[in-house]
Amino acid sequence: MEQVLAFTSSLIEITTVLSIMGISISIIMLLYRAIAGPTNPDRAVALDTIGINLMALAGVIAILLVTTKFNDVILLIGILLFIGTVALAKFLEKGVIIERDVD
C-alpha cells in the first residue's frame, strides 16, 4: 500500500513536469503567431490564447509547488484578459475604444 501511494505521488510529479513542458511549447508556438501574424486580428487571437495558456500554467505550477495561493492569481488573469481582449477588438474595429456621441 505504501509503495502504491509513493508510486502515484511520483506519477503526479512526472505528469506535472510534462504538462509544464507542453504548455511552454504551446506558448512558444503562439509567440511566433503573435509576432509574425499577417494581420492585426491574428495578433489579437494569439495574445488571447497566450493569456488562457497562462491561466493553465498557473494551475499546474500550483500543483507542483503544493500551495493554495495561486487561486486568486488564476481568476485575476482571466478577468484582465477578457477586458483587454474586448478593448483590443473595439480598437481594431473602430479606431477608438470609448465612443462619444456628440450630437
Partner 1 sequence: MSGTWIDVVLDLVICLSLLIGTFFILSGSIGILRFPDVYARLHAATKSSTLGVAGIMIGAFFYLYAEYDIVSGKLLLAIVFALLTAPVSGHMIARAAYRSGVPLWEKSVKDDYYAEVQHKRQKQKQ
Residues that bind partner 1 (CB under 8 A): 1-2, 4-5, 8-9, 11-12, 15-16, 18-19, 22-23, 25-27, 29-30, 32-33, 39-42, 44-46, 48-49, 52-53, 55-56, 59-60, 62-63, 66, 68, 71-72, 74-75, 78-79, 81-82, 85-86, 88-90, 92-93
Q: C-alpha cell of 11? A: 506519477
Instruction: Break the chain down into helix, strand, coil percent, rounded to 5.
Output: 80, 0, 20
Tracing cell 503573435 back to the chain, one arrives at: 34
User: CB of 2: closest distance to partner 1 in angstroms?
Assistant: 7
Taking the C-alpha atoms of residue 33 and residue 43, their distance in angstroms, rounded to an integer, is 7
